[in-house]
Structure 1
Amino acid sequence: MLKLRTLLLGLALALAASPAGAWWEYGHYSVGRIAFMEVKPSTRAELNRLMKKSGLLDTPTCPATTIEEVSYWPDCIKTLGDRFSYASSWHYQNVDVCKPFDQKSACRDGNCVSAQIDRNAKLLADKTLPERERLMALAFLVHFVGDLHMPLHAGDKGDLGGNRFRASYGAITGRNLHAIWDGYLADRGISNPPGNAAGVLSEVSTEQRAAWRTGTTEDWAREGWEAARQFAYGSVMEDPCGAAPETEPVIDEATTRRLIPVIRERIAKGGLRLARLLDEALA
């Protein structure tokens, strides 16, 4: 069932024109699982307590009983139509990678992923709020930290985070750069041995874990913005800020192998930073 859902979601996102979905299920699951493994025991206990009350969300087709389901919930609720349409712009921020970093220009009235990470972290920490609100804040926080660590949700070139940038992934033609990074590269990178969340985390040293947990949301956004230019666009263009290629670029096997460590680092950083935010809010 999971493989079928992943396949159907991947197909939908590959064909979509909206920049609102980041990482296919495997990416979000992995960020959430790394965080769940890294939080303090008291934080993990509180997460489990909140998730047991997921029925309060009243979204039976979008469960939130495990950290993996929680991590995917903000994408799942897009299928519920107008009920949660207010959150569509919260998943990304289109900061021009070919101009000086300017987060404010892409974050009007707090409608961007960075601002919503900070907002939902505060809501989650507020024990005076109804549990339904805190549970919803948890789901948004887990998901949005994952979103921010997908480079094309932190920076773009006026092309909807690469959705309008046509590219091919090996023999899979007629895709766009956003879908390739969302799914094909992410799934390949996370699956590369040692695979899954535990495998990704196993390659991160104690020193790196401590260093990667530091910084502010804006620091992480700037890092993702730089990754968008250097790796997402830089992998298919000699000059990331130059003219669009005349022919559809192909991310071949050699390029994929160079990008696998980048993908794994983005996932690990997202999980470790999320763990810090959860500890601060719940421990």
Structure 2
Amino acid sequence: MQRRHPIALLATLMFVVSAPAFAWSGFGHQLVGELAERQLSESARAQIADLLRDEPEQTLASVATWPDTVRKQAAWKFTAPFHYVYIQDDACRYDAARDCPDGSCIVAAIDRYGAELRDATLPREQRAQALKFVVHFVGDVHQPLHAGNRTDEGGNEFQVNLDGEGTNLHSVWDYRILHSAQLDLQTYADRLDAQRRRAPGLANGDSAAWAMESCSALAAQAAYPAKPGKLDPSYLVDKRGYVEQRVVQASERLAAMLERALGVGAGP
């Protein structure tokens, strides 16, 4: 086995340690949570704070990464397939019986945990867990490589080289694109919130529609390079605007979903 120079090894270790802080499953999810909470009514925010009263922080951003932290634990391994869906159709048409057998995909998970969150007769702890899953999965389904129609494990098997580092396309979309803006959470959230206020979207559709949007974006946004290999750094800048758009859309749709479940007049 070839030995690596100590400096090169140190750089690699630093990258491995620091990268998750900027992952869609970290930084991106926190952005979605922060933006969504800014759009909620006082009533919905109060109920969220009550549901999360046992947490160190009672905000959507603070719990947005929880499903990723527990998915490898024995008690939560059953949730691993809930983070994605493989749509087995070239035109990105989702079919529940074909693409989500036994409800084991992100589309069904959003609906299932959304129903638990709405049900005020359930124990608070169960609804708090449902809230954390909803926040996370609504973010995931807006990341195109979490809802694609290619047989490469959501781009995990599509190898690329970026800035001299070997990685894969899924990782690029998970964290490299947002990280390339080099902004902290609050600064980035302020910027995207200002964009949203200037051109508010429609919090429309459902979990299946959001998944089909993501799937269609793989072709529409030319997410896949022509072939594996060296990826020009300009790719990050080229795709960042669309990724930011998906973060904003996720936040609007999450806020609307939570408002229906927890806002003024919400019921079981």
Shared fold (TM-score, shorter chain, > 0.5): yes
Kindly tell me: are residues 131 and 161 of structure 1, through their superposed partners in 2, closer, same or farther at Cα, counting changes over 3 Å? same
Where in structure 2 are the equivalents of 1:173-192 lying within 5 Å?
173-189=165-181, 191=183
1:167/1:176 contact within 8 Å kept? yes
How far, CA to CA, are the matches of 2:156 and 2:90 in structure 1? 17
Residue matched to 1:279: 259
Residue matched to 1:167: 160
Residue matched to 1:36: 37
2:75 maps to 1:66: no
| 1:148 shift after superposition | 0.3
SS at match of 2:229: coil
Kindly tell me: are residues 136 and 25 of structure 1, through their superposed partners in 2, closer, same or farther at Cα, counting changes over 3 Å? same
Q: Deviations over 1:96-127 (max 9, x none)?
A: 46345234222111111111111111100101
Amino acid at match of 1:248: G
Number of equivalent positions:
250
Residue matched to 2:202: 212
| More divergent stretch after superposition (153-162 vs 184-193) | 184-193
How far, CA to CA, are the matches of 1:101 and 1:85 in structure 2? 28
| 1:12 shift after superposition | 11
SS at match of 1:203: helix
Q: Deviations over 1:70-91 (max 9, x none)?
A: 1011011135x21111111100
2:37/2:255 contact within 8 Å kept? yes
1:142 corresponds to which of 135, 140, 155: 135
Q: Deviations over 1:9-68 (max 9, x none)?
A: 73699xxxxxxxx713100000011111011111011111111134xxxxxxxx664322
TM-score using structure 2 length: 0.84
Amino acid at match of 2:28: G
How far, CA to CA, are the matches of 1:214 and 1:150 in structure 2? 17
Residue matched to 2:8: none
How far, CA to CA, are the matches of 2:185 and 2:63 in structure 1? 26
Residue matched to 1:8: 17
Residue matched to 1:202: 194
SS at match of 1:204: helix
Highest Rg: 1 or 2? 2
How far, CA to CA, are the matches of 1:194 and 1:274 in structure 2? 19
SS at match of 1:24: helix
2:48/2:59 contact within 8 Å kept? no
1:112 corresponds to which of 93, 105, 109: 105
How far, CA to CA, are the matches of 2:70 and 2:243 in structure 1? 26
What are structure 1's unaligned runs of at least 5 residues? 14-21, 55-62, 238-244
Where in structure 2 are the equivalents of 1:44-55 lying within 5 Å?
44-54=45-55
Residue matched to 1:92: 84
Residue matched to 2:243: 263
2:229 maps to 1:248: yes
How far, CA to CA, are the matches of 1:193 and 1:126 in structure 2? 32
Kindly tell me: are residues 228 and 73 of structure 1, through their superposed partners in 2, closer, same or farther at Cα, counting changes over 3 Å? same
Q: Deviations over 1:243-267 (max 9, x none)?
A: xx2x5141x2332222111011010
How far, CA to CA, are the matches of 1:6 and 1:148 in structure 2? 26
2:147 maps to 1:154: yes
Amino acid at match of 2:106: V
Question: What is the CA RMSD across the aligned residues, in angstroms?
Answer: 2.8
Kindly tell me: are residues 6 and 42 of structure 1, through their superposed partners in 2, closer, same or farther at Cα, counting changes over 3 Å? farther
Kindly tell me: are residues 229 and 116 of structure 1, through their superposed partners in 2, closer, same or farther at Cα, counting changes over 3 Å? same
2:117 corresponds to which of 114, 119, 124: 124
2:110/2:134 contact within 8 Å kept? yes
Kindly tell me: are residues 260 and 133 of structure 1, through their superposed partners in 2, closer, same or farther at Cα, counting changes over 3 Å? same
How far, CA to CA, are the matches of 1:160 and 1:9 in structure 2? 24
Amino acid at match of 1:220: W
SS at match of 2:221: helix
